[in-house]
Amino acid sequence: MDEVEEARKKEREKDRKREELRLKREEELKKKFIRTGAVITAIVLCVILGVVSAVRYSKTKAAAAAAEKKKQQEAALEKEQEENIIDFLAVGDNIAHLGMRESGMTESGDWNYDAIYQPVKEDVEAADLALVTQETVFVENREDISGYPSFGTPPEFGDALVHTGFDVVAHATNHILDKGTDSIEYTMKWWKENHADTRILGIHESQADADNMTVIQCKALKLAMLDYTYGLNDIPLAEDKSYMIDVFNEEKARADIKKAREAADVVIVVMHVGDEYVQDVDDQTRQWVNLFLEEDVDIVIGSHPHVIRTMETLTGEDGHKMLVYYSLGNFTSTQNDLPSLLGAMAKITIKKDVKTGAIQIPEHEFIPLLMHYNHDSRTYGIYKLNEYTQELADQHTANERNPGEFSIQYYKDFFEQIKAKGNDDGI
């Protein structure tokens, strides 16, 4: 019995140890599972945190990239918009009277008229595009130089205009045929040979040239420019040479403007028309302007009356707005009557909205000019009225011809009276 009991005892001890071992293994296994789970959890958490961080970083990076792209787009848009804004300047008729012509003559034959335009040179050069109307035709032979009523002008006046900063010269005037078609041909040839980059309006060397629309690229803007005169002082122009001068014809003008609208962003018409020495807008000029408004012209620059007329913004039936300077008067001359010595300069900011394509005129100015001359000292110059001094006024030959009437204040008051006849509405 003792042996049996002893054997059983040993067996129970073995069972107990096996159970302890089993429990110990289970405990170790649990701990292992716990450790593994903790590791897995930590890994999962790390993965989650990594993903979250990556997402946040990605979003931050994407946001930064988007912000940078937007900034670049805005900068590009701003640059594009800047390229679609220009400063346009225009003045009236450049008329070379006797004293002005003689002031630049020398015995050597090297004539120069730059000094006449020096007082406004800075303004003209500052513009992106500057226009002047050359009232009189150039002549090749010195013997053909003459004044009113049949003008022949030294081409050195053309040099002076270019040196001053003018880019576009309008030639369709009532005096362009004063010396016949040969002088027109010479004028065109002279421009081509001496200042090929200067754009010439209103006269043409061939029918093909006349049919070709003048479109000027200024920065990113395309400007179509047309130039018409009401007539040629009853001087006949041969029918086979009618292409040489842009004499106004309603049907042709409408067709020209339609063509211009298709070819350019902006359409500008230069008109040489109006009753001379009359400040109020006459019926013929009004008819022209109404036609231009119907055809959606953007800007009209007028001259010929030898006096300034008002400016205003007109609105067509379709809502189109057009800026009109009815007459900028004489740019240079030595006429005797006081109103003819007052000219004007148009400064116009032209903008094409790159988002909408709309043409806008955010700013426009009407600046009075005064022609100074003293025949005794042979000094001639065109000044902005607000820069014209009393010292110069005292020396003006007009004082002798208009004693007690010529004064700076007279011109300031006169200009305001003319300006008040129009409006200063924006576009």
- Which bin fits 229, alpha (ψ -120 to 50), beta or left (φ > 0)? beta
pLDDT tens-digit readout, 338-370: 999 999 999 999 999 999 999 999 999 999 999
Cβ-based neighbour number of residue 315 at 10 Å = 12
Nearest one of 374, 366, 371, 368 to 332, comparing CA atoms: 371
pLDDT tens-digit readout, 12-39: 777 677 667 777 776 766 666 566 666 6
Q: Can you read off the two tokens belonging to residue 206?
A: 């061939």
Q: Is 90 exceeded by the pLDDT of residue 277?
A: yes
Share of the chain above pLDDT 70, in %: 90
Q: CB-based contacts of 72: which residues, under 8 Å, 6+ apart?
A: none
Q: Can you give the pLDDT at residue 67?
A: 82
8-13 average pLDDT score? 72
Q: Is 60 exceeded by the pLDDT of residue 246?
A: yes
Q: Can you give the pLDDT at residue 36?
A: 62
pLDDT tens-digit readout, 281-335: 999 999 999 999 999 999 999 999 999 999 999 999 999 999 999 999 999 999 9
Q: Is 90 exceeded by the pLDDT of residue 74?
A: no
Q: Can you give the pLDDT at residue 154?
A: 98
Q: Can you give the pLDDT at residue 299?
A: 98
Q: Can you give the pLDDT at residue 73?
A: 77
Q: How confident is the model at residue 379 (pLDDT cuts 50, 70, 90)?
A: very high
Q: Is 70 exceeded by the pLDDT of residue 223?
A: yes
Check whether the bond before 155 is cis (ω within 30° of 0): no
Q: Is 70 exceeded by the pLDDT of residue 44?
A: no
Torsion of Cα atoms, 380 then 382 then 385 then 387, to 10°: -80
Q: How confident is the model at residue 104 (pLDDT cuts 50, 70, 90)?
A: very high
Q: CB-based contacts of 139: which residues, under 8 Å, 6+ apart?
A: 145, 152, 153, 154, 155, 179, 183, 186
Q: Can you give the pLDDT at residue 309?
A: 98
Q: Is 60 exceeded by the pLDDT of residue 1?
A: no
Q: How far apart are CA 93 and CA 104, in angstroms?
A: 19
- Prediction pTM value: 0.86
Q: Is 70 exceeded by the pLDDT of residue 409?
A: yes
Which residues partner with 311 through β-bridges? 325
Q: Is 90 exceeded by the pLDDT of residue 118?
A: yes
Q: Can you give the pLDDT at residue 346?
A: 98
Q: Can you read off the two tokens belonging to residue 373?
A: 């001359």
Q: Can you give the pLDDT at residue 200?
A: 98
Is the Cβ–Cβ distance between 241 and 143 less than 8 Å?
no
**Mean pLDDT over the full length of the chain:** 92
Q: How far apart are CA 315 and CA 309, in angstroms?
A: 19
Q: How far is CA 119 from the centre of its chain?
A: 22
Q: Is 80 exceeded by the pLDDT of residue 164?
A: yes
Q: Is 80 exceeded by the pLDDT of residue 393?
A: yes
Q: Can you give the pLDDT at residue 186?
A: 98
Q: Are strands 311-315 and 321-325 parallel, antiparallel or unpaired?
A: antiparallel
